[in-house]
Amino acid sequence: MGISASKALRWCVPGLDDELGEIHPGTLIVLLGHPGAGKTTLASKVVSCNMDRLGIKVVYFSTSETKEKYFTYMENLGLRLKDFESRESLKFIELPTFSGEMACDMFVDILTRTVTEEDPDLIVIDSVTPILWYLKDDPSRRSFLHAGIYKVVSEFRKTMILIGDLPYGKERVDLGGIEFVADVVLVAKLLSERGKPTRRLEIRKFRGRSVRVSEFPFAIVEGAGIKVVKPPHTWSPKHKVRSKLTILNGDPLSRAVGPIFRGEQILVTYPAGSGVPLRFATMIARRAVRDKLKLLVVTSSSSAELISAYIYSALRALGEDCSKEDFSKYVKIHVQDLFTMSVTELMGRTLVVSEEYDPDIVLVLDVTVERDVLWQNMELFNQMNYVFVSIDRSNGVVTFRLFGTRGNDVREAGLLAEVSDVVIQVTPQSCCEYSVRVIKNPFRRPSPSAIQELERELNSIAPREEEFIQNLSGMKNG
């Protein structure tokens, strides 16, 4: 019977739905890719999400994996497809090993019979490549793909995802011309970045839609499946649903730089190697806990236990009556591993953490570490920060980025200084004394008294050594 046009399928991947739109009944999607590039994961994300949201029925043909292996792998990525099989929404069919010229007739017979009996809304063939191996000439392949595959899509009006394998190092494969009649052709690529795997999704064809971007990065993330890493279409704020337009009001920081609006991006520069990052993080955490705002601290250089112990101990030294339960509720530490992940994978995982935690404030503790690790590819560094800035603006997240400079010159921050709304420069005067200057602020000229008040608070932050060691030990053991 099939799903109605009013209930079109979705890609169910944030960023991909915006770019590609809905999948209408009777669409033939060809998904090509290198081994390990994420073809099966992307197709399975579409399957799982649409069975859940629309109650559709799916038949999944596999020529390479057993059902047990497939279900186990997908469950590790957060896709519990086995549950849908038990509810008879999903039928997984392990295709036998075909050989010779009979492969075409045998498969077409199984496909046609299954579609007639099961009447699925969506069909996935993963992958068609082993079948094509046995069809030696182009006429045989065209006959199979057009008379078999495309006939099911057009006559039965079924949506189909046809997966094909690309050999390593190649971006094209002979599919007998099916790409000419396909409605959508996507290519998942597995590339190398700094000796680490990184993935790109190319939109090679999309009938009836003008696509803005032809290729963008994506990551495979446990618990989320596919995560596309790209800026939103616009920076139009999504945070209008939040209760307040501004946050961090009525404190020395807001008096120094003016009202801090949701989505505002603030860059804090300081001489590299000074103690500014943890002090500044404590100052922001103090506001977060007081005002019940969720703070996400992102770091690439320290352990979560050390940062948590420092901030919590410093808050206690300031006289804040903050329980460990409240601290854990309103302050979350996320550690990025720049050395074992590609930038795309790192961004994908960080975005998933941010979406799950839904912070009001993000504080990136050590942007300089990211810059220095990626110094050979500053284009990647700038792209990464531009994507984060645009997403944070759109989601109404106030973000502080702490950038250590070598010569105390804000121009070292380059693009970050340009795209930030406010730029603050912190300069150490002695071991524990700091001066503050507001370098960029188009909204308000700070008063000297407000700056002095902010400096006094920053200078007063320091944990008691004994309590810090005790808290660090407790957090590591916990």
**What residue segments make up the domains of the chain, in order of their start?**
5-228, 239-477
pLDDT surpassing 50 at residue 65: yes
pLDDT at 136: 61
- Which sign, positive or negative, has the C-alpha torsion 359, 363, 366, 371? positive
Strands 215-221 vs 196-206: parallel, antiparallel or unpaired: antiparallel
pLDDT at 238: 54
Which helix (H) or strand (E) element contains residue 332? strand 331-335
pLDDT at 17: 87
pLDDT surpassing 50 at residue 5: no
**Which range among 6-20, 27-41, 135-149, 454-468 shows the weakest confidence by mean pLDDT?**
135-149
116-120 mean pLDDT: 93
Which helix (H) or strand (E) element contains residue 363? strand 361-364
- What CATH number has the domain spanning 5-228? 3.40.50.300
Contacts of 404 (CB under 8 A, 6+ apart): 269, 270, 271, 272, 273, 274, 276, 277, 366, 367, 368
DSSP state of 336: -
> Nearest Cα to 364, choosing from 385, 341, 343, 339?
385
**Rounded to an integer, what distance in angstroms lies between the CA atom of residue 302 and that of residue 310?**
11
pTM of the full structure: 0.86
CB 311 within 8 A of CB 445: no
pLDDT surpassing 90 at residue 358: yes
Whether 5-228 shares its CATH topology with 239-477 is answered yes
Percent of the chain with pLDDT over 70: 90
Query: Per-residue pLDDT tens for 332-344?
Result: 999 998 888 889 9
> Nearest Cα to 87, choosing from 61, 109, 116, 56?
56
CA 326 to chain centre: 28
Highest mean pLDDT among 50-54, 94-98, 154-158, 244-248: 50-54
At the topology level, CATH places domain 239-477 in Rossmann fold (3.40.50)
227-248 mean pLDDT: 66
CB 25 within 8 A of CB 159: yes
pLDDT at 260: 87
Other CB atoms within 10 Å distance of the CB of residue 415: 14
Of 131 and 216, more confident? 216
> Nearest Cα to 31, choosing from 203, 198, 156?
203
